[in-house]
Structure 1
Amino acid sequence: MTDDVREALRGVAASELLLVALDFDGTLAPLEDEPMEARMLPAARIAVDALIAAPETFVAFVSGRSLTDLRIIAEHRDDSRVLLAGSHGAEFWVPGVGPIVHADDPADAALRDALRSRAEAATAHLDGVWIEPKTFGLGVHTRKATPEAAEAANRLVDAMVQAEAPNWRRRTGHNIVEYAFRQEGKDSAVAELRERVGASSVLFAGDDTTDEDALRSLGPQDLGVHVGDRDTAATLSVPDIPALAALLSDLAAERTAARE
């Protein structure tokens, strides 16, 4: 650890009540061609477990995945102490409470289903393109597609959504474009989690463009960490998942030592 990283960790480690909010795909688990095969690296799981055991510390996973899918890939059990924010903060799972989903207009769900079916039909001829059902919309996955097929799929679905659901939120990520009738982002997810647990400081870590909303929302008492090497609003950057796992393990140790 450099002196700058050590000083940044020491600041959040000494906070009265800490929320560690973590993106999942690309942050704790490697990106997979088959998205439902994603699982935390062992080092990341060890670090998460250490943080859960640290005093006055809450851990949350904040993901664009639906809550159902996030629970599967995170191997999240009913007795878990990890909070979840799925669908970019439109769904939550809280220990001792269970799932919390904000109410929706049935017309939105009907339009979601119609657009999803039309997107599947419109892109069926494009190899490597997969339309992911999402609780509040759909995702266009192109990780296994050629650049030409990816461009065609995104163009087709973009035009479809713009014509029939121009107010839907559009997000881009690693080989995916997501569309949702809900407007929540990871910034609002972190804000709701912060309020729910009463955190005095937040550490948020993520790797994708959708994580930048949360990183930009952090205050001076918080710490943002980016996994990767692109431009970011994060205070710190680490090169990969093992490096983040090492940082989180160091944070758990600092957090425990600060409370002894």
Structure 2
Amino acid sequence: MSAAAPAGSPEARALLARVATTPHLLVALDFDGTLSHLSDEPMSVRALPEAAEAVRSLAAAPGTDVAFVSGRTLRDLRVIAEHDDDSPFHLAGSHGAEFWHPRGSSVRDDASVSPVDEDRPDVADEVLAAVEAAVEALDGAWIERKEFGFGLHTRLANAADTDRATSAVDTIVAERAPAWRRRTGRDILEFAWRHEGKDAAVAALREQLAATAVLFAGDDVTDEDALRSLRDNDLGIKVGAGETAAAVRVASPTELAQVLSQLARMRSAAQE
């Protein structure tokens, strides 16, 4: 795994220029920590104004589709993205277990996946009740129920309570739902009975939209699935510190917004 080139370097500029000229570009973006700063109140998160402007410009550029690819449920992703039925952005929620596509999109209506009761295992309610009870007394730790599982949030917990909560939740799931997929992220531990990942979400969007290249950007461990899946003519961007499979690194969502704005200008100029 080679070191990611810093944004603004000659290597990064060359990689950006390459995807800017591809015939049909998919710009797939994580949301939390990528288009927005992280927050102690997850539902208060919103895209930075400059990031929101950049993705709108990209969605309006010729031959360009923009998608938000998130671990959030589709319902919550629509809230934080301030997304309505007239939005031009594709959505992949729950790590790619749920999709939403804009009106007039080339994607078939039946390509969108919605939660169905039949997917829910019999043990789900038992597991959810058990993990909630296990962390109830731990200050700063809480369980978020999701469409296909749950997330243990520990952003506000101290190290000792984080360890206790993680150990308790791991034990419960190992005993009662060992087949559920385990994911770790920044101050979150997730379990789901659906096993889709962001790599599969990007692959599905690439095929559905007939993209000739993909730019994917993300900040967390779960985004590395998608970054590792990218092809030679794609571009992966890591937001923030940490080991990564991305070719380019930016320091913050603000710097990513600047890169996306530059890409929108390059994309429009290349198609004129």
- In which range does the TM-score fall when normalised by the shorter chain? over 0.9
Q: Do structure 1's residue 100 and structure 2's residue 122 form an aligned pair? A: no
Alpha carbons 2:151, 2:191 under 8 Å: kept: yes
Q: Which of 57, 63, 80 is matched with 1:56 structurally? A: 63
Q: Which of 69, 88, 101 is matched with 1:81 structurally? A: 88
State the match for 2:166 in structure 1.
Answer: 154
1:192-232: CA deviation from partner (whole Å, max 9, x where unpaired): 01111110000000000000000000001100000012110
State the match for 2:33 in structure 1.
Answer: 26
Q: CA RMSD in A?
A: 1.5
% identical aligned pairs: 55
Alpha carbons 1:169, 1:182 under 8 Å: kept: yes
Alpha carbons 1:83, 1:92 under 8 Å: kept: yes
Alpha carbons 2:115, 2:147 under 8 Å: kept: no
Structure 2 gap ranges (5+): 1-7, 104-108
1:86-117: CA deviation from partner (whole Å, max 9, x where unpaired): 00000000112599225657373442222111
Q: Which of 116, 119, 143 is matched with 2:128 structurally? A: 116
Alpha carbons 1:18, 1:201 under 8 Å: kept: yes
Q: Give the TM-score taking structure 2 as reference length.
A: 0.92
State the match for 2:265 in structure 1.
Answer: 253
Q: Do structure 1's residue 17 and structure 2's residue 24 form an aligned pair? A: yes
1:220-250: CA deviation from partner (whole Å, max 9, x where unpaired): 1100000012110000000001110000000
State the match for 2:4 in structure 1.
Answer: none
State the match for 2:199 in structure 1.
Answer: 187
1:37-65: CA deviation from partner (whole Å, max 9, x where unpaired): 11001111011111011110000000000
CA distance in 1, matches of 2:149, 2:269: 44
Alpha carbons 2:141, 2:161 under 8 Å: kept: yes
Q: Which of 30, 38, 43 is matched with 1:36 structurally? A: 43
CA distance in 2, matches of 1:244, 1:73: 18
Alpha carbons 1:22, 1:206 under 8 Å: kept: yes
Structure 1 gap ranges (5+): none
Structure-2 change in CA distance of 1:250 and 1:139 (3 Å)? same
Q: Do structure 1's residue 142 and structure 2's residue 154 form an aligned pair? A: yes
For the residue of structure 2 that corresponds to 1:101, the secondary structure is coil
Structure-2 change in CA distance of 1:242 and 1:259 (3 Å)? same
Structure 1: which 4+ aligned runs deviate by more than 6 Å? none
1:215 maps to a residue whose letter is: L
1:118 maps to a residue whose letter is: A
Q: Do structure 1's residue 219 and structure 2's residue 219 form an aligned pair? A: no
Alpha carbons 1:27, 1:205 under 8 Å: kept: yes
CA distance in 2, matches of 1:216, 1:24: 18
State the match for 1:126 in structure 2.
Answer: 138
CA distance in 1, matches of 2:47, 2:9: 26
Q: Give the TM-score taking structure 1 as reference length.
A: 0.97
* 1:5 Cα offset (Å): 1.6
Greater shift after overlay, 202-211 or 110-119? 110-119
Structure-2 change in CA distance of 1:98 and 1:49 (3 Å)? farther
The number of residue pairs the alignment matches comes to: 260
